[in-house]
Structure 1
Amino acid sequence: MKVMDADIVVCGGGPAGVNAAIAAGRTGARTMLIERYGFIGGMSTAALVYPWMTFHTLSGKQVIKGIAQEIVDRLMAMGGSPGHLRDTVGFTNTLTPYHPEMYKVLAVDMLKEAGVKLMLHSFMDEVRTADGEIEAIQLATKSGKIRVQGKLFVDATGDADLAYQAGAPCLVGRGGDNLTQPMTMKFRMRGVDLQKVKQYMIDHPDEFYHKTPFDELTHLPLSGIQGFKKHWQNANLPINREQVLMFTGPAEDEVLVNTTRVQGLNGLEVEDLTEAEELGRKQVLMVAAFMTANLPGFENASISNVGAQIGIRETRRIEGAYTLQADDVIQGRRFDDVVARSGYPIDIHDPSGKGVTAAWVQGDGAYDIPYRCLLPRKVRNLLVAGRCISTSHEALATTRLTPSCMATGQAAGTAAGLAVRQGVSPAELDVVLLQRELVAGGAVLA
């Protein structure tokens, strides 16, 4: 069996893993990033999760910067993003459109600049541990099995696959029944007359989300639409949602539709995932046909792209040194060991019903994510970033959003690099030193 080694091994090439690997590489640590697909981006590219929401609080203060903002800046420079736009759905203050194909290329460029060894088409299928530490992981690849050894590991798989296989305690779903937020097959449509859509929104505000900034629509670029309630209700489709949700771009006649909903299936079970893919793609055709037949502005629209896989909001998460709670989010709680902040509200897509449960952040509009949420129990040389950090089911409904995942990715990668440099475990790392390094890297911690 081929053997490879690195100081830091990051599993999962989504936004959290990309930012973790870049951050780790920039500390000078020999870093390797493992990704199962043939491209980077995770849910942002494979599942068309778009746009990125949000880098700001509801009042407009930016609380996520660092590597995440660097990515946005570089995308803007290459014509791959307009930057942060006003959210015309009204759920957040801003959202950030991006071109997924440009993001795929830029992310690899930035990984290479940081000296990261990238391994695509590599599926982690085994974890070897001894005395509470990971010794190596095994990859299944086209060229056979590969053993990857490392000093420290970062789990950015989204599903806590590495942590779980290493023996770290994990949780799934909400308390009581372990049901998770539904999966969504996202798709794009081209040929949309967005000016006609905007005019319909202005003329029929009662059909759209009540927080939509109607008085600003005449001069704001249309970035998101949630509504067409009467059209949706009259269609009576077998999809457990109350209305249509979509976001515009990146092209001028294009939307990303986030309206399908697959409930009651477990994203950790291969047979459930298989069924979810089937149901999701059938729903895509159903929703697209409904939109072209019924919605103003969609008369000449057609499907242009469907996700390579279904989008997954929630699966497994670790039980860490601290578990972020809903009250921590709502109260805008501060922590001495803060390593990231977020202003995104709690946003729970009902695991079994039609609705979405939302709760907004009080105080200054942002809450802290403590370093302890990145530290799994029982595995000393492992950090976790992204969707599978230590939270309650309710708190996960905000930390799972892409900018937050980017921020915890930068925190985990920086911590891993510093721990390797000092020869200590992540739990032994001086948090003040970590915070100083994060701030130097552009992160917002206050």
Structure 2
Amino acid sequence: MKTIEADVVVCGGGPAGVNAAIAAGRSGAKTVLVERYGFIGGMSTAALVYPWMTFHTLQGKQVIKGIAQEIVDRLAAMNGSPGHLRDTVGFTNTITPYHPELYKVLAVDMLKEAGVKLLLHSLMHEARTEGGRIESVRLATKSGKIDVKGKVFVDATGDADLAFLAGASCLQGREGDGLTQPMTMKFRMRGVDQARVKRYMIEHPDEFYAKTPFDELDRLPLSGVLGFFKHWKRANLPINRDQVLFFTGPADDEVLVNTTRVQGLNGLDAEELTEAEELGRKQVLMVASFMTANLPGFEKASISNVGAQIGIRETRRIDGRYALQAEDVVQGRRFPDAIARSGYPIDIHDPSGKGVTAAWVQGDGAYDIPYRCLLPKDIDNLLAGGRCISTSHEALATTRLTPSCMATGQAAGTAAGLAARSGRTPGELDVDLLRRELAAGGAVVE
């Protein structure tokens, strides 16, 4: 059996894992990134989660920068992103469209530049632990089993798979019943007349989300649409949602549809996840047929792409040294060990009902994410980054968004690199030193 040794091992190649591995590699740590698919990007590419929301507060102040902004800048130079655009849905101030195929390539380029060893087509299925530390992870690959040994590990799997396999305490779903936010099979359509969609919105504002910036719509590029309430209600599809949601791009006649909803199934159970994939794809056909038959601007549209897997909002997360709470988010709470900030509101897609519960950040529009949320209680050399950090069910509804995951990923990778180089555990690090390192890397920590 082949063995690979590293200072830092990052499991999960989504945006959090990519940023963690880049940060660890840039710190000088010998870094390995493990990903089960044959490409990078996680939910952003495999599940077509698009656009990235949001790098800014509702007032327009940018609070997520660092490696995340570097990626946006480099995508823009490749014509792979227009940068940050006004959100014409009105839910946030900005959204960031990007081309997923270009992101796949750019991410690998940046990993290589940072000296990261990338292992694709590698499914982590076992973690060897001793004395409250992870010694190695075992991968199932086409060429047989591989053991990857490391000093420090980062769980960026989204589902806390590494933490779970290592025996760390984990939480799942909302308190009481354990139900999670629904899954969504996202898909793209080409042949959409976006100008016609915009005209209809301006002429029928009552049929769209109340926060839509109608007074600016005639001079803003259309970036997203939430509404068509009348059309959706009349269709009475067997999908437990109350409106249509889609975002424009990357092409001028293209949209990404975020309207299907699969509820009540466990994204950690292979059989239930199989059922979710089946239901999600059937819903895609229903929604696309509805849109072409009923929505102005979609008369000539057709499906051009469906996610390789269903999009997952919530599964398992670590039980950390601190769990971010809803009141921390809403009150814009500051923490002395902050390693990232975010301005995205709480956005809970109902686990069993039709609606979405939202709560916006007060004060200056941003809240802190403490370093303790990245540290499991019971595994000394493990950090979490991305969707599986330590939060309540309600707070997860903001930290799960991609830019926030990018930020906590950079923090986890930076901390892992510092810990590996110093011989300390992540919990023993000087947090002020970590915050200075993050700030030097362009991250916003205060």
Q: TM class, shorter-chain normalised?
A: over 0.9
Q: Deviations over 1:89-141 (max 9, x none)?
A: 00000000000000000000000000000000000010100000000110000
Which residue of structure 2 aligns with residue 370 of structure 1? 370
Give runs of aligned pairs for residues 337-376 of structure 1, distance below 5 A. Answer: 337-376=337-376
AA aligned opposite 2:243? Q
For the residues of structure 2 that align with 1:422 and 1:140, how far apart are their CA atoms? 31
For the residues of structure 1 that align with 2:370 and 2:164, how far apart are their CA atoms? 21
Which residue of structure 1 aligns with residue 251 of structure 2? 251
Q: Deviations over 1:362-381 (max 9, x none)?
A: 01100000000000011000
Please say which of residues 282-291 and 415-424 is displaced more in the overlay. 415-424
| Match status 1:58 vs 2:66 | no
Which residue of structure 2 aligns with residue 95 of structure 1? 95
AA aligned opposite 1:100? P
Which residue of structure 1 aligns with residue 129 of structure 2? 129
AA aligned opposite 1:350? D
Q: 1:443 deviation in Å?
A: 0.5
Give runs of aligned pairs for residues 189-204 of structure 1, distance below 5 A. Answer: 189-204=189-204
For the residues of structure 1 that align with 2:131 and 2:414, how far apart are their CA atoms? 25
For the residues of structure 2 that align with 1:40 and 1:305, how far apart are their CA atoms? 18
Which residue of structure 2 aligns with residue 7 of structure 1? 7
Q: Deviations over 1:290-311 (max 9, x none)?
A: 0000000000000000000000
Give runs of aligned pairs for residues 15-54 of structure 1, distance below 5 A. Answer: 15-54=15-54
Q: 1:445 deviation in Å?
A: 1.2
Which residue of structure 2 aligns with residue 162 of structure 1? 162
Q: Deviations over 1:134-179 (max 9, x none)?
A: 0011000000001110000000000000001111110000011100
Percent identity for Structure 1 against Structure 2: 83
| TM-score, normalization by structure 1 | 1.00
Which residue of structure 2 aligns with residue 285 of structure 1? 285
Which residue of structure 1 aligns with residue 308 of structure 2? 308
For the residues of structure 2 that align with 1:135 and 1:420, how far apart are their CA atoms? 13
For the residues of structure 1 that align with 2:214 and 2:378, how far apart are their CA atoms? 51
AA aligned opposite 2:330? I
Give runs of aligned pairs for residues 32-431 of structure 1, distance below 5 A. Answer: 32-431=32-431
Q: Deviations over 1:217-244 (max 9, x none)?
A: 0000000000000000000000000000
Aligned to 2:285, the other structure's residue is in SS state: helix
AA aligned opposite 1:258? N
For the residues of structure 2 that align with 1:369 and 1:99, how far apart are their CA atoms? 28
Which residue of structure 2 aligns with residue 436 of structure 1? 436
For the residues of structure 2 that align with 1:229 and 1:315, how far apart are their CA atoms? 30
For the residues of structure 2 that align with 1:143 and 1:377, how far apart are their CA atoms? 35
For the residues of structure 1 that align with 2:138 and 2:444, how far apart are their CA atoms? 36
Aligned to 2:387, the other structure's residue is in SS state: helix
Q: Deviations over 1:412-433 (max 9, x none)?
A: 0000001111110000000000
Q: 1:285 deviation in Å?
A: 0.2
Q: 1:347 deviation in Å?
A: 0.1
Corresponding pairs, count: 446
AA aligned opposite 1:178? G
Aligned to 1:124, the other structure's residue is in SS state: strand
For the residues of structure 2 that align with 1:445 and 1:338, how far apart are their CA atoms? 6
AA aligned opposite 1:158? G
Aligned to 2:7, the other structure's residue is in SS state: strand
Structure 2 residue runs of 5 or longer lacking an equivalent are none
For the residues of structure 1 that align with 2:3 and 2:437, how far apart are their CA atoms? 32
For the residues of structure 1 that align with 2:317 and 2:52, how far apart are their CA atoms? 21
For the residues of structure 1 that align with 2:133 and 2:303, how far apart are their CA atoms? 47
AA aligned opposite 1:376? P
For the residues of structure 2 that align with 1:417 and 1:55, how far apart are their CA atoms? 25
AA aligned opposite 1:329? V
The alignment yields a C-alpha RMSD, in angstroms, of: 0.3
Aligned to 1:218, the other structure's residue is in SS state: helix
AA aligned opposite 1:278? E
AA aligned opposite 1:271? E
For the residues of structure 1 that align with 2:23 and 2:338, how far apart are their CA atoms? 17
AA aligned opposite 2:348? I
Structure 1 residue runs of 5 or longer lacking an equivalent are none
AA aligned opposite 1:288? A
For the residues of structure 1 that align with 2:81 and 2:242, how far apart are their CA atoms? 30
Q: Which runs of 4+ in 1 moved over 3 A?
A: none
Q: 1:202 deviation in Å?
A: 0.2
Aligned to 2:281, the other structure's residue is in SS state: helix
